Amino acid sequence: MPGSGKSSIGRRLALRLGLPFLDADSEIETAAGLPITEIFARYGEPHFRDGERRVISRLLAGPPVVLATGGGAFADARTRAAIRGSGAVSVWLRCRMPTLLRRVAGREHRPMFLNADPAEVLQRLMTTRHPFYAEADLVIPCTDESPESTTRRVQEAIEAWRPPARLPVTLGERSYDILVGEGLLARAGGLMAPVLPGRRVVVVTDETVAPLHLPVLRAGLEEAGFAILAEIAVPPGEASKDFACLQSVLERMLAAGADRRTAVVALGGGVVGDLAGFAAAVALRGLPFVQVPTTLLAQVDSSVGGKTGVNLALGKNLVGAFHQPRLVIADMATLATLPPRELRAGYAEVAKHGLLSGETLWRWCEGHGAALVAGDAAAQAHAVLESCRLKSAVVASDEREESAEGGRALLNLGHTFGHALEAESGYGGALLHGEAVGVGLGLAAALSARLGQCSQELPGRVISHLEACGLPARIRDLPRRYSAAALLGRMRKDKKVRDGALRFVLLRGPGEAYTAGEVPPAMVESLLRDEGAEA
């Protein structure tokens, strides 16, 4: 903004960093041979903005510099995109109105302030520009402190800044990025804005997550000029993934005025992501949506890949749609608020990815899984990144799970058993999805060994690791009893069943998963009984 001190701070910062300082406006005037006011008067703003973008792109393509842009440059979408694409770090010096008014005093001769009330001019510029400035990498609140103090804070912020890891999910025109890092909720609006058609959203969350994370998300959206049409909080737990809750979410979204340029933001765990994503898929025949996962399970698995849906009494996720998000924002700081049981349950999906990936990641899981569930932030970040890297590659090669063998179906390792256990439990929270998957991983490894497809040591290795991480690993570890016949009946309703034949994802070893058909039901029933199910 005028008066923010970008030139004086920029010069001081350049000296501290040992870099040249450039002012984009001066460079434009030199290139054009005309003052900016005359360029505007002769050719109009569109012509100026086009030239401004080309000059800034040229400067950023050269050696490192500290560059102060004109106040209107970052408000231009193409210039913002050019700055992002260059790899530059963008810094917004954010000043409050009283500070700006004092600093622009005496500038009444400037064309912007000529014969105008400076407060009205500044307020208009703030209203117009601040939503775009919020897309900057760093936002530095500026006060009436000395320029040296502000410069020091800017330098410290730049040196401490770590950009979020950005993993692409390559799906042609439906491609999107997964962002993984700390403090991303507060920047959510600036991160979402470049990939959404407008700045209107509906937020879907649950009653547990809302008080923990919704205020920060709300502030991040509002700073970037987003209008939040509705904030919809559903009851926590798998029971909310049903048609009654879906209908309620849809009616509240549409009653709030959602249109086809309104994005649905899913803030929460896997249940919220599946439910909100399915609502986005069917409302008005498809709305854009963004996944903001706040649980380990959602960050490593369910938020990526576009699978959305609800449950039926017959089984889990039997109704749904493939609907890819525009962006996934995984703020690692949200994991610190998870109850230990939820964190352990989420880890089951990490273990699954370790078994699918190969010995390197599986051995990492064996070495670091216990620390991860105990709260080790570095281990959690590594697990999220590696899990997303694996899943994004699988989804890119088989988006709709159409591969005849293998492909995306392999991500269901442990899930045929796990979904049967969940359905039989009634989705009431007595058995979490991750806990069911953990038991399912042990059963899948045991079935693989009985079929002679893997070493006899692998099931014990899997079960021992899950137990070391505090997860139930066998049916007998669960707090209630299950009938082997009832579980088999649930499995026959699984999505992978073909022509009535049971199909499982099994293992020949870590990194060697495969889909198996024609598995003898008697062998499965015998395994279930041996692992603790009742006859």
Q: Are residues 155 and 170 in the same domain?
A: no
The reply to whether 49 sits in an annotated binding site is yes
* 405-439 residue pLDDT tens: 789 999 999 999 999 999 999 998 999 999 999 99
Range of the domain at 129: 6-160
| Statement: residue 200 has pLDDT above 90 | yes
Give the three-class secondary structure for 441. helix
Question: Residue 374 sits in a domain of what CATH number?
Answer: 1.20.1090.10
> Are both 197 and 321 inside the same structural domain?
yes
How far does CA 148 lie from the centroid of its chain?
37
Report the number of distinct structural domains present in the chain: 3
175 annotated to a ligand binding site: no
Q: What is the pLDDT of residues 76-112, one digit of tens each?
A: 999 999 999 999 999 999 999 999 999 888 776 677 7
pLDDT value at position 105?
Answer: 84
What residue has token string 């034949």?
501
Q: Are residues 426 and 495 in the same domain?
A: yes
Whether residue 409 sits in one domain with residue 325: no
- Please report whether residue 361 resides in a domain: no
Is 499 annotated to bind a ligand? Reply is no
Q: Residue 108: what pLDDT?
A: 63
7 assigned ligand-binding residue: yes
Same domain? 379 vs 520: yes
What pTM did the predictor assign? Answer: 0.93
Position 345 in a domain: no
- Residue 462's pLDDT is 98
Residue 355 inside a domain? The answer is no
Look at residue 366 and tell me whether its pLDDT is greater than 70: yes
Contact predicate 404/417, CB 8 Å:
no
Phi, psi of 445 (to 5 degrees): -65, -40
Residue 25 is labelled as binding a ligand:
yes
Residues 488 and 404 in one domain: yes
What is the chain's Cα-based Rg?
27
118: domain CATH number? Answer: 3.40.50.300
Which residues are tagged catalytic?
A: 285, 307, 349, 391, 401, 408, 412, 415, 419, 433
Q: Which amino acid is residue 289, in one-letter code? A: F
Whether residue 433 is annotated as binding a ligand: the answer is yes
Q: Average pLDDT over the chain, rounded to whole?
A: 95
334-350 pLDDT, tens digit each? 999 999 999 999 999 99
pLDDT at 109: 60
If asked whether residues 228 and 271 sit together in one domain, one would say: yes
Same domain, 317 and 374: no
Average pLDDT rounded to a whole number, residues 38-44: 90
Query: What pLDDT, in 10s, does the model give residues 150-193?
Result: 999 999 999 999 999 999 999 999 999 999 999 999 999 999 99
Tell me: do 136 and 181 sit in the same domain: no
- 108: in domain: yes
Indicate if the pLDDT at residue 483 is higher than 80: yes
Judgement on whether residues 374 and 329 belong to the same structural domain of the protein: no
CATH of the domain at 288: 3.40.50.1970
- Is there a domain that residue 448 lies in? yes
- Measured CA to CA, the distance from residue 380 to residue 132 in angstroms comes to 32
- On whether both 461 and 321 belong to a single domain, the answer is no
> What pLDDT, on a 0 to 100 scale, did the predictor assign at position 41?
86
So what's the pLDDT on residue 406? 82
Q: Are 295 and 257 in contact (CB under 8 A)?
A: no
Rounded Cα gap, residues 362 and 510, in angstroms: 7
Reported as a single tens digit per residue, the pLDDT across 494-533 is: 877 777 788 899 999 999 999 998 899 999 999 999 999 9
Ligand-binding annotation for 71, yes or no, is yes
441: tokens are 């991983």
* Residue 382 confidence (pLDDT) above 90: yes
Does the annotation list 495 as a binding residue? no
46 domain residue, yes or no: yes
